[in-house]
Amino acid sequence: MKKKLLSVLLSTAMVASLLVGCGSNAASDDSAATDAAATDTANDSAATDTSASSGEGGFVGVAMPTKDLQRWNQDGSNMQAELEAAGYKVDIQYASNDTATQVSQIENMITEGVDVLVIASIDGSSLGTVMSQAKEAGIPVIAYDRLIMDSDAVSYYATFDNYMVGTKQGEYIRDNLDLDNAAGPFNIEIFTGDPGDNNANFFYGGAMDVLNKYIDEGKLVVKSGQKEFADVATANWSTETAQSRMENILASYYADGTKLDAVLCSNDSTALGVENALAANYTGDYPIITGQDCDIANVKNIVAGKQSMSIFKDTRTLASQVVKMVGQIIEGTEVEVNDTESYDNGTGVIPSFLCEPVFVDSSNYKELLVDSGYYTEADLQ
Ligand code: BGC
């Protein structure tokens, strides 16, 4: 089985097709209904959860970073449900954002003899050794959402277009402050994600490629002076860390009533920290605040006017696409990708499938989040 998979991979990598869009039937697939209430933070290191299905179709190991963030619970439960429905046995594990835990979970999956590994890494650069073990065992690896760096064992990458996430956030700020026409200057502060997460570079890079021009010409002013990636990164994407950095910035630069016009936040957990800090320490009008994931707490804040937008990455869509890829790998058919240029993990470009993100704000959240069945009205009360 393993040898067959390896040769299949080599040939499929060469003929990987270039397709546009993402899992065509995914968004409307009721079988992948989102577990909107899946915010349980306990049991991250739960014992192996293998499917009750016969597993005749194959055995898939799914390694997720943490249960602490809503999105990973949704990603995990959607993928598990879809894989089981397709007849695969599944071992899904969450690692409490601890790399050593994730490594040992993946080692166990290799020992158990999984046919394919799907991994959303915690630190994309810390899986080299266990990736080599997977390669030796002939197990193909799909990097899920986050690219695994510096390893030639990564067969495919499935994600939303991370650079586009950043540009959409930057464009939202540009358009809503009307930077091309308004006189300004406007004050902005910047928060991005964990430096060990390769995505953070793309989110930050995409947004700054839109905003740098206005910073350079003085129309956007970063009062704190904190604008380089290292200054604005948030370890573990932690809400508390973002909150305390925002509190310091407010105390040092805005306590005299200076208006804060915008805060670029790469995702919802950092946006929540910024919003908590503002709620306790800022009396002016709420600035434009960006986010990503459409977590329930943040969508509630969008409805309440405390967050302006969030990027919506429908976890049902990504899960469906990955389940499709797993099937194609196991069946030895052509694996669909639509990008063979953007994601070099240090060993070469990894054939990728990029889904397209969209933004949600108060004008379209009902249509995109409620009418699509992602959340119920009650979830957002
Ligand atoms: C994901 C985001 C998420 C962040 C924190 C990133 O890799 O792409 O959707 O908000 O990690 O978990």
**Residues near 364 by beta carbon (within 8 Å), at least 6 away in sequence:** none
Each residue's pLDDT tens digit, 154-186: 999 999 999 999 999 999 999 999 999 999 899
Q: Are 61 and 103 in contact (CB under 8 A)?
A: no
Q: For atom 5 of ligand 1, which residue has the closest CA?
A: 237
Give the integer Cα–Cα distance in Å for 193 and 111. Answer: 33
Closest CA to 17 of 340, 305, 309, 259: 340
- Residue 22 tokens, joined: 């993402």
The count of other CB atoms within 10 Å of the CB of residue 348 is 10
Task: Return the amino acid letter for 259.
Answer: K
SS3 label, residue 203: helix
The count of other CB atoms within 10 Å of the CB of residue 98 is 16
Mean pLDDT of 197-209: 97
Give the integer Cα–Cα distance in Å for 259 and 233. Answer: 23
pLDDT at 204 over 60: yes
Beta strand 116-119 with 141-144: parallel, antiparallel or unpaired?
parallel
Question: Exposed, middle or buried: residue 362 (CB in 10 Å: 0-12, 13-18, 19+)?
Answer: middle
CA–centroid distance, residue 333 to ligand 1 (Å): 30
Q: How many CA atoms within 13 Å lie on the side-chain side of 364? A: 10
Q: Are 348 and 330 in contact (CB under 8 A)?
A: no
Whole-number pLDDT of residue 22: 52
In this structure, what DSSP letter does residue 292 have? B
- Residue 323 tokens, joined: 């389940």
What number does the ligand 1 atom closest to the CA of 199 have? 7
Give the integer Cα–Cα distance in Å for 381 and 379. Answer: 6
Each residue's pLDDT tens digit, 62-85: 999 999 998 999 999 999 999 999
Q: Which residue has the tokens 């990987």?
A: 16
- Residue 150 tokens, joined: 């510096």
Cis, peptide link before residue 195, omega less than 30° from 0: no
Whole-number pLDDT of residue 331: 92
Averaged pLDDT score across all residues of the chain: 88
pLDDT at 9 over 90: no
Helical segments of the chain, H only? 2-15, 70-85, 99-112, 128-136, 162-177, 198-216, 229-232, 239-249, 268-281, 296-303, 315-331, 365
Whole-number pLDDT of residue 57: 83
Q: What is the CA radius of gyration of the chain?
A: 21
Q: Are 234 and 160 in contact (CB under 8 A)?
A: no
| Best-predicted range by mean pLDDT (2-16, 35-49, 307-321) | 307-321
For ligand 1, whether the C-beta of 69 sits within 6 Å is: yes
Band the pLDDT of 283: cuts 50, 70, 90. confident
What number does the ligand 1 atom closest to the CA of 237 have? 5
For ligand 1, whether the C-beta of 146 sits within 6 Å is: yes
Residue, of 45 and 291, whose pLDDT is higher: 291
Name the residue of 293, 295, 360 to mutate for ligand 1: max ligand atoms within 8 A of Cβ: 293
Which phi and psi angles does 52 have, rounded to 5°?
A: -80, -10
For ligand 1, whether the C-beta of 71 sits within 6 Å is: yes
Mean pLDDT of 274-299: 95
What number does the ligand 1 atom closest to the CA of 145 have? 8
Name the residue of 119, 121, 267, 343 to mutate for ligand 1: max ligand atoms within 8 A of Cβ: 267
- Percentage of residues in the chain having pLDDT higher than 70: 85
Give the integer Cα–Cα distance in Å for 314 and 27. Answer: 7
Which phi and psi angles does 230 have, rounded to 5°?
A: -60, -30
pLDDT at 47 over 50: no
Mean pLDDT of 105-110: 98
Each residue's pLDDT tens digit, 127-147: 999 999 999 999 999 999 999
- Residue 67 tokens, joined: 């249960």
CA–centroid distance, residue 108 to ligand 1 (Å): 25
Whole-number pLDDT of residue 55: 55
Each residue's pLDDT tens digit, 218-263: 999 999 999 999 999 999 999 999 999 999 999 999 999 999 999 9
Whole-number pLDDT of residue 4: 40
pLDDT at 303 over 80: yes
